[in-house]
Amino acid sequence: MAEEGYDPKRSRVSDETMQNFLKGKVSGDITDIPGIGPAAAKKLAEGEDENDQITNTFQFIGKFLMIKGTEPDDEGNERTVDTRVHLDRFWYFLKEKSISSHRSGIVKAIAEKVNQMMPGIYDAAEYDDVDDDSDSE
């Protein structure tokens, strides 16, 4: 059984689509994000709590940033989570919203886009060892 969580190798976003997204302006249209179509957009907009309803790209980026968060270190002090924990948290958030397709592609697209605005929030090098583990699923 495949391990769950974010894995950049599971991204099915073409290089051209990713580059167009990264070069383009952030629009309010959530379907401009690679991997999010009308069905995923509808799922993201659902939720009893208004704070859980994501209807545009800006809210989606905001959710990505909120998930960054902190966790206690070995001494019990709060520290900002690293890239792997952050992207896994976002991947699981999408799973909780019933996004079943393109989760890794969506995570990668947002991580790379936000990293352009805030360099260092996403470190692709943390996944270099993934290349040696196995072929793409």
Model confidence over 48-68: pLDDT tens digits?
Answer: 888 889 999 999 999 999 999
Q: Which residues contact 78 (CB under 8 A, 6 or more apart)?
A: 70, 71, 72
pLDDT for residue 54: 97
82 — pLDDT class (breaks 50, 70, 90) = very high
pLDDT for residue 52: 85
Q: Which residues contact 36 (CB under 8 A, 6 or more apart)?
A: 30, 44, 99, 102, 106
- What are the residue ranges of helices labelled H in 5-82? 15-23, 38-45, 57-68
The reply to whether 56 falls in a domain is yes
The reply to whether 9 falls in a domain is no
The reply to whether 29 falls in a domain is yes
Residue 46: pLDDT over 60: yes
Cα separation, 30 vs 56, whole angstroms: 5
Per-residue pLDDT reduced to its tens digit, 9-26 = 888 899 999 999 999 999
133 — pLDDT class (breaks 50, 70, 90) = very low
Domain that holds residue 81: 14-126
pLDDT for residue 134: 42
Q: Give the mean pLDDT of 31-45.
A: 97
Element (H, E) at 79: strand 78-80
The reply to whether 134 falls in a domain is no
The reply to whether 55 falls in a domain is yes
Per-residue pLDDT reduced to its tens digit, 70-80 = 899 889 899 99
pLDDT for residue 16: 95
Instruction: Return the closest-CA partner of residue 110 out of 97, 122, 123.
Output: 122
The reply to whether 132 falls in a domain is no
User: Considering its fold, how many domains does the chain have in total?
Assistant: 1
